[in-house]
Amino acid sequence: MSVFSPVRLRAHVNPRYIVAVMVVLALLMIVISVWVIRRAQSNMLWVMEKEGVALIESIIQSSRNALRAGALLEETIAERLVNNARQADHLVETEGAGRRALMQMVRENELLSIEIFDGSGRPILSTIPARPAEPDSAVRERLSPILDGGYAVHVLGYEEAADGGVERYAVAVARAESPGAIVVAVDGSYVREMDEEIGIGYLIQRISREPGIEYVLLQDEEGIVLASRNIERMPRIAGDPFLRHALAHEEAQHRITEFEGRDVLEIVKPFPVEEAASGLFRLGLSLEGYREMVTGTRRQVAVLAVLFFLLGAIAVTLIIINQNYALLNRSYREIRTLTGSVLENMRSAVVAVDASGRITVLNRAAEEMFAVSRSQALGRRYGEVFKEDECLLAETLEKGRTITGVERPYRTFSGDRLVLAVSTSDLGGSEGEASGAVAVVRDVTKVREMEESIQRSDRLSAMGNLAAGVAHEVRNPLNAIAIAAQRLEEEFLPDASREEFLTLTSALRSEVGRLNEIVQQFLSLASPPKLRREAADLNGLIGEVLELIEPEAESRDVRVDRRFGKLADVEIDREEMKKVVLNLMRNALEAMKGGGELRIRTAEGDGYHSLRIEDTGPGISRENLRKVFHPYFTTKDGGTGLGLSIAHRIVVEHGGRIEVDSVEGKGTVFTVLIPSKGSP
């Protein structure tokens, strides 16, 4: 166990480096501040441009709507006057109405006047009192479209009264039955007021009063068409390249220009009428708010830059002050990371506790080996998690001694039996006192099984060699005894005690046969025959053995439960493998003296076919479990103890292995693993 002692690190920082860092930090703050201010200016100006473009688009659309509304208004008024003129013509022609009837009609329809002229343009009837005589030529010229028969309706539009009175809006209509014309008029000022309320001029004046708008105007190549009240004169389009460029393009253009000594953001876009650009709408936006925002942004950025500079200076100071600690902490983390990586990738389980017996370390291998969750185990007392002191840490803490390579049996949560090699050591503290203990636990089950298998093979080999010699020496005398017993029965049969004599000779021959069978088993164990491998269906082979076994199972009141998995053919010696299966099944039946259940399972695993034979007999004790494959070991009366040894030898000759597990009072399980076809 190695103990890492603290590493003392000394650092020297040249003051010039500190000054250089501060200068670089200050320059960095200045560069960032300038960039942020310029970026903010650009963004705010971009927003103003987008808002201005949206506003001028709205003005243009509203102006188009205003023009349509004005035209519709005049069309509506003209249509009304036409209807009034035809009504008046009807009254005069059919009812002979005079001036009084026409005056009544003027009042009812809120008209200004009704005048009737003959085909020469001379007035016949009028509601205008004391109207000055108008030259026939003037009337004729004004009403010529009607009097000449070219039009039935002619809109005269706005007219000034002959006597200098109220401006009127008039319409002339041809008479229906007689030649001539009827002129109907309304108050022109009323029409103009309505037109102005929905016209472009009213729209421009209303928008120009909004905060932040310096001016709004409509300008053509001749000059200003409509403008807000504060506009007296503006440069002509022909003398301004920017305006000429804007007039030639459909998209809105923008620029910063001067207006009455102030900078404004001007948005310009053509105003098309009947698909042709007849002028430009120009919108001037005040930059005062923009200037105030830029000033405020500069102030805020300057404050933040100073603040960040101070914070940076403080951070550099703290870095220098804590340099030794940072270096030591980094070294500690690297060591801890390396140690943690080593612990996590170790195949051996590692468990450590502090002086009070609380678990401080438990690696992944320990989690898997003892089926313990690290998140639940860390911080808990060792005795609460490992109740049987599996890692011997309680003994180490109590006695203060190191334990090396102690092997202990252990049964996992799933019931598997393991052999664990445990080594422990105490952890030294700063003053020589133990600060805890650590255990390293290795699973040596496979190693011990391999050692036992090697020892078993060695014993079998030695026993086989001995058996070969003994069998060779014993077989000839046995044959001689068998021949002598046969001759006694045939040639020296006594007259007296005949039955007793035959019984003795029969028993003699029977025992000789049994001894000969044992000798044959000796020879089979000593000199195993060469396997005659062929592709075989393992499930079918097991089924054939079960057909032989089932009558005996029924007589013993044993139920057979078979579940065969899907298996590919395997390369085996069918007769030898039948011996293995038959031996294991008979052992299972003989173990269940009072009845029970024989479970047969087959499955295909990773490179192996497995056969599992399980009984519900009394089981095998732990002491005897390790001896079951030893030659001549048996717990059955009259058994030779060679059956499982020969079965083990046959399975090993096939490149497989045979495993056994048993719990006293619950039964025994033999598992035969045979390499799949084509497996090494």
Q: What is the pLDDT of residues 115-136, one digit of tens each?
A: 888 888 888 888 876 555 555 6
- Burial code of 60-73, b = ≥16 C-beta within 10 A, e = fewer? beebeebeeebeeb
Q: Given 3.40.50.880, 3.30.565.10, 3.40.50.720, 3.40.50.300, which CATH number is that of 534-675?
A: 3.30.565.10
Say how far apart CA 285 and CA 519 lie, in whole Å.
Answer: 121
The SS3 assignment for 295 reads: helix
Please give the CATH superfamily to which domain 199-286 belongs.
Answer: PAS domain (3.30.450.20)
Single-letter code of the amino acid located at 368 = E
**φ, ψ for residue 435 (rounded to 5)?**
-100, 5
pLDDT of residue 275: 47
Query: Which of 6-20, 49-63, 156-170, 308-322 tops mean pLDDT?
Result: 49-63
The DSSP H or E segment spanning 668 is strand 667-675
CA distances from 171 to 17, 103, 112 (A): 95, 17, 12
- Give residue 523's pLDDT band: very low, low, confident or very high (50, 70, 90): low
366: CB partners within 8 A, 6+ apart? 349, 350, 351, 372, 441
Percent of the chain clearing pLDDT 70 (strictly above):
77
The answer to whether residues 103 and 174 touch, using CB atoms and an 8 Å cutoff, is no
CB atoms < 10 A from the CB of 285, how many?
A: 23
Percent of the chain clearing pLDDT 90 (strictly above):
8
Say how far apart CA 408 and CA 370 lie, in whole Å.
Answer: 14
Residue in 503, 524, 537 with CA at minimum distance from that of residue 583: 524
Q: What is the pLDDT of residues 590-606, one digit of tens each?
A: 889 889 999 999 998 88
The predicted model gives 74-103 an average pLDDT of 83
Pseudo-torsion of CA 568, 572, 578, 582, nearest 10°? Answer: -70
Query: Which of 118-122, 263-267, 503-507 tops mean pLDDT?
Result: 263-267
Helices 288-321 & 323-345 angle (0-180, nearest 10): 70
Say how far apart CA 15 and CA 663 lie, in whole Å.
Answer: 78
The predicted model gives 325-343 an average pLDDT of 62
Mean pLDDT, the chain, as a whole number? 78
pLDDT for 557 beyond 90? yes
Structure tokens belonging to residue 194 = 């309505």
Distance, CA of 444 to chain centre:
43
What DSSP assignment string belongs to 461-505? Answer: HHHHHHHHHHHHHHHHHHHHHHHHHHHHHHH---STTHHHHHHHH
The predicted model gives 605-625 an average pLDDT of 88
pLDDT of residue 391: 83
- Give residue 521's pLDDT band: very low, low, confident or very high (50, 70, 90): low
pLDDT of residue 165: 61
pLDDT for 309 beyond 60? yes
Structure tokens belonging to residue 399 = 């006695």
Report the residue count for the chain: 680
pLDDT of residue 276: 44
Question: First and final CA of the chain: distance in angstroms?
Answer: 42
The residue that leads in pLDDT, 629 or 356, is 356
Q: Which residue in this structure is represented by tokens 């003398």?
A: 239
pLDDT of residue 9: 41
50: CB partners within 8 A, 6+ apart? none
pLDDT for 563 beyond 90? yes
- Burial code of 571-607, b = ≥16 C-beta within 10 A, e = fewer? bbbbebbbbbbbbbbebbbebbeeebbbbbbbeeeee
CB atoms < 10 A from the CB of 675, how many?
A: 17
**φ, ψ for residue 184 (rounded to 5)?**
-115, 135
Q: Which residue in this structure is represented by tokens 């479970």?
A: 599
pLDDT of residue 637: 58
CATH topology (fold) of 346-443: Beta-Lactamase (3.30.450)
The answer to whether residues 105 and 86 touch, using CB atoms and an 8 Å cutoff, is no
Single-letter code of the amino acid located at 316 = V
pLDDT for 5 beyond 50? no
Which of the residue ranges 154-158, 463-467, 540-544, 551-555 would you say has the lowest mean pLDDT? 463-467
- Give residue 680's pLDDT band: very low, low, confident or very high (50, 70, 90): very low
CB atoms < 10 A from the CB of 642, how many?
A: 21
Check residue 150 and report its DSSP letter: S
The answer to whether residues 274 and 208 touch, using CB atoms and an 8 Å cutoff, is no
The residue that leads in pLDDT, 654 or 415, is 654
Q: What is the pLDDT of residues 429-478, one digit of tens each?
A: 555 566 788 888 888 877 777 776 666 666 666 666 666 556 655 666 66
The answer to whether residues 585 and 597 touch, using CB atoms and an 8 Å cutoff, is no
462: CB partners within 8 A, 6+ apart? none
Residue in 176, 133, 184, 117 with CA at minimum distance from that of residue 154: 184
pLDDT of residue 7: 38
pLDDT of residue 109: 85
pLDDT for 174 beyond 70? yes
